[in-house]
Structure 1
Amino acid sequence: MIDRETVDRVFAAANIVEIIGDYVTLKKKGVNYVACCPFHNEKTPSFVVSPSKGVYKCFGCGEGGNAVNFVMKHESMTFPEALKAVAKRYGIEIKERELSEEEVRRNDDRESMFALNGWAADYFADYLYNSEEGRSVGLTYFSQKRGFTEATIRKFGLGYCSAQGAALSRTAREAGYREEYLVDTGLSIRSDRDGSLFDRFRDRVIFPVHNISGRVVAFGGRILGTNKNVGKYLNSPESIIYSKKNELYGLFFAKRAIQQQDVAIMVEGYTDVISMHQAGVENVVASSGTSLTTEQIRLLKRFTKNITVIYDGDAAGIHASLRGIDMILAEGMNVRVVGLPPEDDPDSFARSHTADQVRGYVLENEVDFITFKAQLLMREAQHDPIRKAALIGDMVQSIVQIPDAIHRSVYVKECARIMDVDENVLIAEVARKRHTAAGDRETEEFMRRQARQQQTEQTPTDTTLPAYKQGVRGGSSTEALEGELVKYLLKYGHCDFELKEGRTMVACNVAEVIFADLDADGIRFRNPIYNEILNTYRTEWERLGRGTEVPANYFTSHINPEVSKTAVDLLWADDNYVPSQLWSRKEIHIESETEMLSIGVPRAVALYKSKVVERFIEEQNARLKEDDLSEEEVLEIMQKLSKLNAIRVSLSRKLDRLIL
């Protein structure tokens, strides 16, 4: 593991302008540099590099971070890999702390299994080309049945495992590989009868599965016979180097094309991916022999937020696509769907069309998920009003998954139009389902927005109001409020302000107020990234001395890439705000930083504590509904509810003073 001292040396030496300048053309603009973002297509530069802060931020797609984050993102590396790459550029020796015996053993096991899988992949590929059995069975299947060229076969490392039963296991042992690794990787299976090893993938063509960095983590094997008692495909078992829910077949070969085109095409199987690549469409992945998982979606999200699902024309393919759509939506990604002709799957379609024809078909036939689902289910419902009601409920369930309120609103409007349903009915149903599933108070937020719109008729409507004037609201989520408190800490934690207590003005410090209020009730942030920033700030604040500014690079250069990206987003959130001249013309008072803090900090703390108290009350009310409670437990819950309601009333009064 790389020690913190070495990490700090790398960040201190890294010149972010030099590093990013190797990948994009930067133009100086004031104290910063600008460019067109390398992570999404744009014509007007919105990608900004700040040498003074040592960070970059794209105001188009939202990407941001430090020099190491940039290399991670652009090169699809892990944090240690990117750190070593930057260190090498500046001649810094990477020192890693001594690992424990258990860590050493586990690392040795991992590397041994990776080495064995790499050897096995070479063995299968060699056997395919250089044995009579491999050429007559495996190569014939790939080249004649599937139409794969030699270049394609070698690119994906396709191979063949002998039908002899134990040829690979025997050869691997002769090459010095240990039996335990053969069993753990799943290449071999130990016989219950005599303990001998035999090959898992015997008499099958082989598809190696590569992880995101190109190492072979597993294999898929397809039998070529017609034995219906044997599964057509057989995959490696899970191991310390392979978890099928975390891998996407073809991603290693597709990641650059996905980044360049800002969209990933999702298909079902190995041959679908390979045929599409051979046709010239390379931004294609498959779910690696399993149903689509959240982890796979999040892996893909590192490269794009746009997914196009190509489903087989049969009923099974259609409904498999429906199951994955809601999961994709729940991760905040944009999903479109393409149906192929009934006689085709992606494999056969790619083999019978050119790359331009495949791309053209996708562009002409892809539809957003709401249209796809409506068209599909309306055919099933036809003129049955009961089935149509169920269909609307099904579509609402998909919309509920979307985390972004604006996107939900757009899809609610589109669903209302397609289904000829009152939009307000759908809004209420979406709000009800979100509240039931996750405690989302969308209906309350909607009513409050309506009330605020009426109030703003008497106030300026300049859209250049700073973020703290727009601020968090009573309907903001717990996570948004946590983010607001973290932003106050990062930007103003060392600052003092005055707070009115009765008729007296009391001197306060931002960090002290936030920590004191959270500590008083033993509150921890639920968002793990915000909580890590909070804990890091507290540690440095106490070490440096209360009232001393904690340097921003503690967070923008944090060893956790998610922490550094989040810190960049929060620190840069309001930097581009310039008060409109409209305010001075209308003689409207612009609050000073001190005035802003005296209102914003207590308000954000009170709103957050109010949310936490509401959650505690909901939990206690849920407990009251349990059937097996004793009288003592009921009394205890009622006492807790009484205290919580008293706190809620107190916070409500405080918020009335702070907000109104």
Structure 2
Amino acid sequence: MIDQQTRQRILDSAQILDVVSDFISLRRQGVSYVGLCPFHSDRNPSFYVNPAKNICKCFSCGEGGTPLNFIMKHEQLSYTEALKYLAKKYNIEVVEREETEEEKQRNNERESLFVVNDFAAKFFQKQLTDTEEGRSVGIAYFRERGIRPETIEKFGLGYSPESKTAFTQAALQAGYPMRRLSEVGLTIEYEDRPGVGIDRFRGRVIFPVRNLSGRYVAFGGRVMTKSAKTAKYVNSPESLIYSKSRELYGLYWAKSAIAKKGMCYLVEGYTDVLSMHQAGIENVVSSSGTALTLDQIRLIRRFTSSITVLYDGDAAGIKAALRGIDLLLEEGFRIKVVLLPEGEDPDSFARSHSSSELEEYLKTHETDFIHFKIELYQEEMERDPLRRAELISDIMRSIALIPDSIQRAVLIQSSSATLRMGEHLLQEEVNKLRRRGVSAQGFVAPQRSYEPNEHAPHPTPSIPPQIEEVPDKAEALSDEAYGSLVAREDSIEPFERELMQLLLLYSDRQIIIPMGMATPEYEGEKFPNEDSYFTLHSFIERELMLVGAEAMYSPLFGRFMQELSSMTEGEEGTTVSHFANHPEDHLRKVTTDLVSESELLEYRPDQDLLPSYLTTASATASAAPSEEEAREEEERKEARYLGSVALRACNSYKMALLVRLIQDIHTEIKQAQRSGDHATILERMAEINRLNAEKRRLSDLLGERTIVG
């Protein structure tokens, strides 16, 4: 693990103009540089590099970030790999943290297994190209399937001899212990004869499986004989370095193309991937004949949220694979489906058509998954009315999995006519499923939502005093649940974005607030005549704490505030760097977006956003101020300006909070009216009156501010 000091040195050394210029041509435009975006098909330069802020941003596709972000995205590297890339570029020695004995042992074991697999990959490749058996059996098979020599080399295809122990003996002679050969499944060790075993992949052509960073983690082998007793395909078993549910065949070769095209094709087998690559379509991966898993889906999400599934004409096979598609829907993917002609699969279809014909077919025959599913079930629904009801419920279940409410509404509307069902009835069914906690795996107990567009009850505090204490959501959520929540763009509410932007840019800056404008700590507190001085971070934290706003934070904002508070005080200028280079994708992306928009917050000497009755006019000076006095006055104006921006942002947050609380109390009143609970009605009406009074006070303050144009 790279130690913190080395990591910071790398981040401080990396300059965005220097890094981006290695890959794209830039020309100067004002204080920035502009060029063609490397992340989408850009005809007009839309990729801007800002050396002063040390960030880049495409204003067409939205990609960008710090030098670290750029390298991760462009070179498809992990966080640590990108740090090492930049360290090499700037000649920085990477010092890694001392590992524990347990970590050393586990990493040594993992590395030993990778070394064994590297040896095996080279052995199989050599057997294919350099032996008579490999050429006559393996090369002949690949030639028959239309796999060209350059594809064989690119994907490292190989051959395992028919001899039962050819590989095992070669590995033992090279010094690899039987225990390691057995652990990765290359050799099957006899239970009654320890240290003796036979080759798992004997007599098969080999398809090496590489992980995202390109290391060999497993192998797939197709048998060359036609024996009924032998499985057609054999794959490596689970091991310390391989989990089938966490790997996708072809992703190592496809990741750059997927990121650039903005979408991914999903096929079933090894040869499907190979043939499509040969046809010029490289953004393709295979699930290796199994239904998609959540881990595989999240691998794809690192590069795109759009996926097109290619199916052959086998209806039974398609229906068996639908569960994996439901998982994609639940994860927020945009899913298209292409049905190939009967008797064709991606391998055969790619081999029998030119590259342009294949691309044209895929483009013109793709359809939305929900409507594809309706068409798939159409014949069954026509035959049996009761089965029709079941299938419509199943289709609505798929729609209910989609997290975006607008997408759900559009699909319900368009499905209504095809299914010949009332739109309101379908909407009710989807709403019922979501209330029950529908998931791709079945039903789960509904969890309280923290998304702004949901209407779950919230705590009903008064403002002031403080909201009742509830657990911190960022701590309560597991890493997996947290990751799934923050992956969506709408998980940060607009008023939280404004506060985050201020805190990123000016966290440690001094601001001036007339104390009368801050939330009073006690009922009836009088506004003092003099201004009060805060750091921006402490002021915002105080304002939100006094109204109990922590209970309402979205998961991402809660995580941000928690981490910001834990940072060392006085780390001047490091807040942006810390979050823009954060190991978590969502925090990096949000930081880049907010910093890119920061021109709207830059200080203008002629602006003052405080209400007019609290502004203080400068006394007429009898003499021109000294240079030091002028500098101090300018600093005071800037501190006052930032204070007014912070105050406005906090009040906007409080106003949104009040509106939400009042809506929730109205819901409680309606429930009390239905049950005849008059005491609750009177109590909650009094609460609404008090909150409305606070709302009017905030409206007056917000209504008088000057908007920066």
TM-score range, shorter chain: 0.7 to 0.9
Counterpart pick for 1:544 among 570, 578, 591? 570
What residue in structure 1 maps to residue 415 of structure 2? 415
1:285 match: secondary structure: strand
Residue 604 (structure 1) aligned with residue 604 (structure 2): no
- Output the CA distance in 1 between the equivalents of 2:562 and 2:433: 34
1:193 aligns with 2:192: yes
Partner residue in 2 for 1:298: 298
| C-alpha contact (below 8 Å) 1:55/1:64 kept by paired residues | yes
Which residue of 2 is the match for residue 499 of structure 1? Answer: 518
Match of 1:59 in 2: 59
Check the 8 A contact 1:599/1:658 in 2, yes or no: no
C-alpha separation in 2, matches of 1:242 and 1:94: 28
Find out whether 1:565 has 2:589 as its counterpart. yes
For the residues of structure 1 that align with 2:546 and 2:187, how far apart are their CA atoms? 55
Q: State the distance in 2 between where 1:158 and 1:106 align.
A: 29
The answer to whether the Cα contact below 8 Å between 1:435 and 1:442 also exists between their aligned partners in 2 is: no
Shift of residue 260 of structure 1?
3.6
Residues 658 and 21 of structure 1: is their aligned pair in 2 closer, same or farther, counting only changes over 3 Å?
farther
The residue number in structure 2 matching 1:626 is: none
SS in 2 for 1:105: helix
Task: State how 1:24-39 maps to structure 2 within 5 Å.
Answer: 24-39=24-39
Quote the Cα distance in structure 1 between the aligned partners of 2:89 and 2:577: 21
Distance 1:536 1:190, change over 3 A: same
Q: Displacement of 1:201 after TM fit?
A: 1.6
CA contact (8 A) 1:161 1:201 kept: yes
Query: What letter is aligned with 2:653?
Result: A
Stretch moving more, 321-330 or 386-395: 386-395
What is the one-letter code of the residue matched to 1:192? E
Q: 1:46 to 1:166 in 2, by over 3 A?
A: same
Amino acid across the alignment from 1:567: T
Which stretch shows the higher mean deviation, 479-488 or 358-367? 479-488
In the alignment, is the contact (CA less than 8 A) between 1:55 and 1:67 conserved in 2? yes
Question: Bigger shift: 242-251 or 567-576?
Answer: 567-576
User: Which residue identity is paired with 1:392?
Assistant: I
Q: How far 1:335 sits from its partner (Å)?
A: 1.5
Equivalents in 2 of 1:433, 1:273: separation in Å? 37
Q: Is the 8 A contact 2:658 2:691 kept in 1?
A: no
Name the counterpart of 2:81: 81
Pick closer, same or farther for the CA change 1:564–1:445 going to 2, 3 Å. Answer: closer
Question: What CA distance in whole angstroms lies between the structure 2 residues aligned with 1:237 and 1:394?
Answer: 34
Aligned length: 590
C-alpha contact 1:280 1:355 (8 A) present in aligned 2: yes
Whether contact under 8 Å (1:158, 1:205) holds in the other structure is yes
Pick the aligned partner of 1:553 from 562, 571, 577: 577
Provide structure 1 residue ranges, at least 5 long, that are not aligned to the other structure.
448-475, 579-587, 616-644
SS in 2 for 1:137: helix
Deviation at 1:611, TM superposition (A): 8.8
Unaligned stretches of 5+ in structure 2?
A: 438-446, 457-488, 603-611, 614-639, 665-683, 700-709
* Structure 2 residue 128 is matched with structure 1 residue 101: no
Asked if the contact 1:492–1:510 (Cα under 8 Å) also holds between the matched residues in 2, the reply is yes
**Equivalent residue for 1:149?**
148
Deviation at 1:338, TM superposition (A): 0.5
Q: CA deviation at 1:188?
A: 1.4
Q: Is the 8 A contact 2:32 2:51 kept in 1?
A: yes
The corresponding residue for 1:246 is: 246
1:489 to 503, 511, 517: 503
Label 1:395 to 1:345 Cα distance change in 2 as closer, same or farther (>3 A): same
Residue number in structure 1 paired with 2:482: none
Over 3 Å counting, the alpha-carbon distance change for 1:603 and 1:386 in structure 2 is: farther
Coordinate RMSD, CA, aligned? 4.0
How many Å separate the matches in 2 of 1:443 and 1:560?
Answer: 22
8 Å Cα contact 1:381-1:388 kept in structure 2: yes
Q: Is the 8 A contact 1:10 1:87 kept in 2?
A: yes
Q: Give yes or no for contact 2:208–2:218 (8 Å, CA) kept in 1.
A: yes
Aligned to 1:628: none
Question: In the alignment, residue 556 of structure 1 is paired with which amino acid?
Answer: A
Distance verdict in 2 for CA 1:522–1:600, change over 3 Å: closer
Counterparts of 2:579 and 2:451, CA distance in 1? 33
1:382 is paired with a residue of what secondary structure?
helix
Partner-residue secondary structure (3-state), 2:290: coil
CA distance in 1, matches of 2:386, 2:283: 41
**What corresponds to 1:176 in structure 2?**
175
Q: How does 1:359-508 map to 2 (within 5 A)?
A: 359-382=359-382, 384-437=384-437, 439=448, 480=493, 486-487=500-501, 489-491=503-505, 493-494=507-508, 495=511, 497=513, 498-499=517-518, 501=520, 502=524, 504-505=526-527
Secondary structure of the corresponding residue to residue 213 of structure 1 = coil
Find the aligned partners of 2:107 and 2:552 in 1 and give their Cα distance. Answer: 33
1:251 CA drift (Å):
1.7
Question: Which letter maps to 2:193?
Answer: D
Q: 1:301 to 1:7 in 2, by over 3 A?
A: same
After superposition, the Cα gap between the structure-2 partners of 1:431 and 1:6, relative to the gap in structure 1 and judged at 3 Å, is same
For residue 270 of structure 1, report the CA deviation from its aligned partner: 0.6
The answer to whether the Cα contact below 8 Å between 2:217 and 2:241 also exists between their aligned partners in 1 is: yes
CA distance in 2, matches of 1:86, 1:12: 11
**1:12-31 superposed matches below 5 A:** 12-31=12-31
Deviations 1:360-410 (CA, angstroms, capped at 9, x unpaired): 211121112132122222232126554444443333322223333343343
Q: Distance in 1 between matches of 2:102 and 2:293?
A: 30
Q: SS where residue 188 of structure 2 aligns?
A: strand
> What are the Cα deviations for residues 230-277 of structure 1, in whole angstroms up to 9, with x where unaligned?
432221122222222221111222233333433221100111111222
For 1:217 and 1:121, locate their aligned partners in 2 and report how far apart those are by CA, in whole Å: 10
CA–CA separation in structure 2 for the residues paired with 1:424 and 1:31: 54
Alpha-carbon distance, 1:36 to partner: 3.4
Give the 5 Å matches for 1:211-250: 211-250=211-250
Determine if contact 2:249/2:270 at 8 Å carries over to the other structure: yes
CA contact (8 A) 1:603 1:658 kept: no
Q: Distance in 1 between matches of 2:279 and 2:191?
A: 45
Task: Using the TM superposition, give the Cα deviation of residue 594 of structure 1 relative to its aligned residue in structure 2, in angstroms.
Answer: 4.7
Does the residue aligned with 1:552 lie in a helix, a strand or coil? helix
Letter in 2 for 1:77: L
- In 2, the alpha carbon distance for the partners of 1:18 and 1:305 equals 30
CA–CA distance in 2 between the matches of 1:187 and 1:651?
Answer: 73
In structure 2, relative to structure 1, the CA distance for the partners of 1:64 and 1:226 (3 Å cut) is same
Mean Cα deviation higher: 4-13 or 431-440: 431-440
How far did 1:446 drift? 9.4
Contact 2:451 2:554 in 1 (8 A): no
1:431-487 Cα shifts (integer Å, max 9, x gaps): 44334325559997699xxxxxxxxxxxxxxxxxxxxxxxxxxxx977548666644
Q: Say whether the 8 Å CA contact 2:184–2:236 is kept in structure 1.
A: yes
**Distance change >3 Å, CA 482–CA 239, structure 1 → 2:** farther
Q: Distance in 1 between matches of 2:114 and 2:660?
A: 48
Partner of 1:50: 50
* Aligned-partner Cα distance in 1 for 2:102–2:94: 22
- Once the two structures are TM-superposed, the CA of residue 9 in structure 1 deviates from its matched residue by 1.6
Residue aligned with 2:126, SS: helix
Shift of 1:657: 5.4
**Contact 1:66 1:565 (8 Å CA) reproduced:** no
Q: Distance in 2 between matches of 1:52 and 1:202?
A: 60
Q: 1:201 to 1:436 in 2, by over 3 A?
A: same
Equivalent positions of 1:319-338 (< 5 A) are 319-338=319-338
CA distance in 2 between partners of 1:186 and 1:659 (Å): 68
Counterparts of 1:111 and 1:445, CA distance in 2? 47
Between 595-604 and 110-119, the greater mean CA deviation after superposition: 595-604
